[in-house]
Amino acid sequence: MKRFLGFVKKEFLHIFRDYRTLFILFGIPAAQILIFGYAVSTDIKNAGVAFLDLSHDEVTQKLTDNIISSGFFKKTETLLNYNDIDKVFKKGKTKAVIIFEQDFGKNFVSEGKANLSIIADGSEPNTATLVTNYTTAIVNDFVTEFSSPALNKSIVISPEVKMLYNPNLKSHFMFVPGVITLILILICALMTSVTITREKEFGTMEVLLVSPLRPIQIILGKVMPYFILSFINVLLILALSWFVFGLPVKGSLVLLLAECMLYILMSLTLGILISTVSENMQQAIFISLIGLMLPTVLLSGFIFPIENMPKVYDYVSSVLPPRYFIVIIKNIMIKGTGFMYIWKETFILIIMTLVFTGLSVRKFKIRLE
Amino acid sequence: MNNTVISVHNLVKKFGSFVANDNLNFEVFAGEIFGFLGANGAGKTTAIRILSGLSKPTSGAVNVAGFDAYRQTELIKKNIGYMCQKFSLYEDLTVKENIILYGGIYGMNKSLIKKRLAELLAKLQFQDYENRMISDLPLGLRQKLAFSVAVLHEPKIVFLDEPTGGVDPITRRQFWEMIYETASRGITVFVTTHYMDEAEYCDRISIMSEGKIVALDTPERLKKQYNATSVEDVFIKIARPN
């Protein structure tokens, strides 16, 4: 045991002496959370809209005010005719143009029916959809507010939509669990595979193997520090998302941390497996980054829903551990569900951990032969 | 000199159908400097891995430091030291930290490590380097230190796998002085090398070719037997019989 502790201490020294390792361990996660949380936002805020008002009456004025004061939009320009529409889009600041037909107010009051066009910049489909949805919602609100029973000939049915679990549809809710999932697997797998191949490359692994340390002690000693540091990392990310984005953990914190530990363990065994198949550090880095980062971002359901993918991708993604962890972490953090709802995913992660461990042990033995 | 520390009888090691070690027989005695020569791919590394408990023989009897190479590899590991051609100290740790680490791995207690550390630093005139990173040291110094670390726990046998690769002649000379000093303390030195002049320094040498030991004796007798002026000559005559 004393031998082992001395060895673990050495591994900590490696980590703390190398500012790059420290940066990857703690700098990148914090940066990722902030970047994904702020920059990669799918909410709209102050999107530019231009108005082409062919009617110029009280009603259009009121509606324009409503749209601008909603907080989602800001007015970029007032257009005079249809020819300006193309020009204003080409300038780039304007995401949508709202056009009121001639005699809009008159038609609205007398006939209860008026036409309004929303033209959105389709080169950014996401923003375009959001902008049109938001505008439509504001217009509908306006209609409901404006129609008093006396004026109204038909009954207006206004559906009230409520977003469960994430009432404001904040995108942080989606990104924080995703980033935790991505970062943990990347860092754990990358770091362990690199630290083990480094010993191979520098020839120190030979010396360790010839020493009385057992192979299992060598591997555990190399992995243990990363387990501890990654766990601290989880706590930091959770604290960061709580203080910066106000994202609470709805479910049991203990359950969440336990699941994180399982996921860290799984990632570490994956890292060990990568190290047994790579000859040098570059290879280990390459496999970890390309092999894990892209599939995790694209196929795990982190950003794009798996249900919308072709079946083939669904099968591919079913061997990716992040896919299961994302379900677990979203359930606990955002829906606040208990273990009953995530036992299946947990079970799969446990199986994966065991498989990776088994494969690594076998590979390791073959190498020793 | 007949206190045997390594005895190998009919050692065979196969990888599938490839025979890496073909019926090796030799003995190494306590306090001896035993040179293990052979071209690349002759099977030296395979044999060293078996002797150091890293891999198991296919057949034959192998005894190292009094322990069986099939069942007692853990005990073998405790009683041997090892230094390989690739550099084996941690560059981002200080001299002192490296010594504490390896001492700890070999189960030495703190006071013993401290005592050996002080002795070692004095012997190498290394006192000023105690808290320097290994990466700050010139290669020659590192190599000497790596050797000292390999014998830190006073093993019965130390295996040196091409220890002087890439080292300047003066350092090689000093390195061999360390080897002599170690052998005089009763530690058996089992060394592989590419430098034939180094082979002359050994008490006995064996030459391997295609998995077999083709010559084994003192350098003098081998030279006489092959009518050669140097070990290098012997080596060439064995490799190209015509």
In a domain, B115, yes or no: yes
Q: Which residues of chain B lie closer than 8 angstroms to A202, CB-CB?
A: 86-88, 90-91
**What does the DSSP 8-state code read for residue B133?**
B
Express each pLDDT in A288-318 by its tens digit: 888 888 888 888 877 777 777 788 888 888 8
Q: Which residues of chain B lie closer than 8 angstroms to A220, CB-CB?
A: none
User: Rounded to whole angstroms, what are the CA distances from B51 to A325, B16, B43, B214?
Assistant: 46, 20, 13, 19
In a domain, B17, yes or no: no
B229 is written with which tokens? 């002026």
Angle, helix A321-330 to helix A172-202, in steps of 10 degrees: 140
In a domain, B225, yes or no: yes
CB atoms near residue B127 (< 10 Å) = 9
Are the C-beta atoms of A50 and A91 separated by less than 8 Å?
no
Q: How far is A8 from chain B (nearest CA, A)?
A: 10
Q: Which residues of chain B lie closer than 8 angstroms to A5, CB-CB?
A: 104
Architecture of domain A47-146: 3-Layer(aba) Sandwich (3.40)
Are the C-beta atoms of A343 and A191 separated by less than 8 Å?
no
Flag if A212 and B52 touch (Cβ within 8 Å): no
Residue span of the structural domain in which B110 resides: 30-43+74-239
> Percentage of residues in chain A with pLDDT exceeding 90?
15
Flag if A206 and B15 touch (Cβ within 8 Å): no
Q: Quote the pLDDT of residue B204.
A: 94
How far apart, in whole angstroms, are the C-alpha atoms of residue B31 and residue B203?
10
Q: Which residues of chain A lie closer than 8 angstroms to B100, CB-CB?
A: 6
Q: Which residues of chain A lie closer than 8 angstroms to B106, CB-CB?
A: 3, 211-212
Domain map of chain A by residue range? 2-40+170-368, 47-146
Select from A2, A10, A203 the Cβ nearest to the Cβ of B86.
A203
Total of domains in chain B: 1
pLDDT at A128 over 90: no
Average pLDDT, chain A: 83
Q: Which residue has the higher pLDDT, B164 or B22?
A: B22
Q: What dihedral angle (degrees, nearest 10) is formed by the CA atoms of B213, B217, B218, B224?
A: -100
CB atoms near residue A264 (< 10 Å) = 23
Statement: the pTM of the whole predicted model exceeds 0.80? no
Inter-chain contacts counted by CB atoms under 8 A, chains A and B: 75
Q: How far is B80 from chain A (nearest CA, A)?
A: 8
Residue of B nearest to A218 (CA): B105
User: Rounded to whole angstroms, what are the CA distances from B87 to B31, B128, B132?
Assistant: 25, 22, 17
Residues B193-219 have a mean pLDDT of: 89
Extended beta strands in chain B, E state: 4-15, 18-29, 33-38, 59-64, 67-68, 80-83, 157-161, 188-192, 204-209, 212-217
- What backbone torsions phi and psi does residue B58 show, to the nearest 5 degrees? -80, -45
Indicate the range of A163-167, A196-200, B15-19 predicted with least confidence.
A163-167
Select from A10, A214, A369 the Cβ nearest to the Cβ of B101.
A10
Interface of A with B (CB under 8 A): 2-3, 5-7, 9-10, 13-14, 17-18, 202-204, 206-214, 368-369
Q: Does the interface predicted TM-score (ipTM) exceed 0.95?
A: no
R_g of chain A, CA atoms, integer Å? 28
B2, with CB counted inside 10 A (0-12, 13-18, 19+), is exposed
- What backbone torsions phi and psi does residue A172 show, to the nearest 5 degrees? -60, -35
Residue for token digits 């064995």? B238
Flag if B92 and A6 touch (Cβ within 8 Å): no
Residue of A nearest to B86 (CA): A203
Q: Quote the pLDDT of residue A47.
A: 85
- What backbone torsions phi and psi does residue B117 show, to the nearest 5 degrees? -55, -50
Q: Which residue of B105, B131, B136 is the best one to mutate when testing the A interface, meaning the one whose CB has the most A CBs within 10 A?
A: B105
Q: Indicate which CATH number applies to the domain containing B35.
A: 3.40.50.300
Flag if B105 and A208 touch (Cβ within 8 Å): yes
Are the C-beta atoms of A329 and A181 separated by less than 8 Å?
yes
Residues B51-68 have a mean pLDDT of: 91
SS3 B241: coil
